[in-house]
Amino acid sequence: MTDRAPLDRPHADRPVVLSCEAIDQSFGGLKALKGASLQVHEGEIFGLVGPNGSGKTTLVNVVTGFYPPQAGRVRLFGEDITGIAPDKIAGRGVARTFQNLALFKGMSVLDNILIGRHVHMRPSALGTLFYWWWAQKEELANRRIVEEVIEFMQLQDIRDEPVDVIPLGLQKRVELARALVAEPRLLILDEPMAGMNQEEKEYIARFILDAREERGVTVLIIEHHMDVVTAICDQVVVLSYGEIISEGPPQQAIAHPRVVSAYLGERAAKRHQRQEAS
Ligand code: ADP
Ligand code: MG
């Protein structure tokens, strides 16, 4: 791992929001994470990058409690949350979006966003969720934050549309809105700009920066678009085959020779796959 000067890290004197310490995660014989460690400080936009299959989503799944790690600890605001259930971790102020959208088809944009208020939700408790939703529908505090976020994310015009008929770029925005209404202290975004054009990407980048400024959230973002990473991230770690191979301010971290060869390796593997297929 590269050393970094504290001066390169403007938020380094702030409290540590998230700390992953030597995380191991295997699926059968496949080691998806090998001793992965990172520290996210309050107010940072922290980038997690690396070639496909390098373990980025797995790390997020460990942090959010979907996979209890085989080794290592996860600390949130200094408290050990290793092995705690996802709903409990959500209840401690962590909200996330998913690489593959996880919206409720057939329900409106507004209803999908309202679900974000259910920070103690468990997937098995959907029945309870809808009861709760109806019971609390008029609840003012919920309404206020939901309306605020709809406005903030500029979703007013499509609030009553079924979520599955709107374009992918807007669906991604709805998912981000759903995460924001939970009023998270740590917001985790798994490829929020996948499949977006340049204009949509810039929109989302602006929302993320504004969410930090106006709502005070700390952001952990998995992102493939390096232009976005260098534009908005304060600090970056690069994963390759489950190991952190570089870290630091974005331009510096990404330019490391190990990172360059990890991505070249990915390209060569893709070329090889294409040749095999043809
Ligand atoms: P990334 O998000 O960086 O593209 P992932 O974290 O999704 O990578 O995957 C890392 C590795 O772990 C890959 O080889 C992937 O196939 C494997 N993997 C991820 N989740 C599972 C799972 N639930 N079961 C088996 N293998 C998995
Ligand atoms: Mg992924």
Would 141 be classed as within a structural domain?
yes
Look at residues 111, 184, 177, 181 and name the one whose alpha carbon lies nearest to residue 141: 181
More confident call, 273 vs 7: 273
Whether pTM exceeds 0.85: yes
How many angstroms does the Cα of residue 136 sit away from the middle of ligand 2?
35
SS3 254: helix
Strand pairing class (79-80; 71-76): antiparallel
Q: How confident is the model at residue 2 (pLDDT cuts 50, 70, 90)?
A: very low
* Of the residues 124, 152, 183, the one at which a domain ends: 183
Sheet holding 71-76, edge to edge: 30-41, 16-27, 71-76, 79-80
Tens of pLDDT, residues 226-248: 999 999 999 999 999 999 999 99
Q: 59, 33 in Cβ contact below 8 A?
A: yes
Containing 85, the helix (H) or strand (E) segment is: none
pLDDT of residue 133: 61
CA separation for the pair 92, 112 (Å, rounded): 21
Number of domains forming the structure of the chain: 2
Instruction: Find the mean pLDDT for residues 39-63.
Output: 97
**89, 220: one domain:** yes
Q: Is the CB of 58 under 6 A from ligand 1?
A: yes
**What is the CATH number for 215?**
3.40.50.300
In eight-state DSSP terms, residue 15 is P
Look at residues 224, 232, 237 and name the one whose alpha carbon lies nearest to residue 266: 224
Tens of pLDDT, residues 14-33: 999 999 999 999 999 999 99
* Of the residues 166, 183, 200, the one at which a domain ends: 183
User: Which of 58, 70, 189, 190 has the most ligand 1 atoms within 8 A of CB, as the residue to mutate?
Assistant: 58
**40, 147: one domain:** no
**210, 138: one domain:** no
| Token duo for residue 126 | 């959907």
**125, 73: one domain:** no
* Of the residues 148, 183, 218, the one at which a domain ends: 183
Percentage helix, strand, coil for the chain under 3-state DSSP, each rounded to 5: 45, 25, 35
Neighbours of ion ligand 2 (CB under 5 A): 56-57, 99
pLDDT of residue 118: 74
Look at residues 69, 2, 60 and name the one whose alpha carbon lies nearest to residue 192: 60
Would 160 be classed as within a structural domain?
yes
**175, 203: one domain:** no
Which residues on adjacent β-strands are paired with residue 74?
A: 20
CA separation for the pair 273, 93 (Å, rounded): 42
Q: 97, 91 in Cβ contact below 8 A?
A: no
pLDDT of residue 235: 97
Tens of pLDDT, residues 96-138: 999 887 899 989 999 999 888 876 344 445 555 665 665 555 5
Q: Is the CB of 32 under 6 A from ligand 1?
A: yes
Q: Is the CB of 27 under 6 A from ligand 1?
A: yes
Q: Whole-number mean pLDDT of the chain?
A: 89
pLDDT of residue 123: 46
Tell me which residue range forms the domain holding 265.
13-93+191-278
CA separation for the pair 181, 203 (Å, rounded): 19
**209, 275: one domain:** yes
Q: Is the CB of 51 under 6 A from ligand 1?
A: no
**30, 86: one domain:** yes
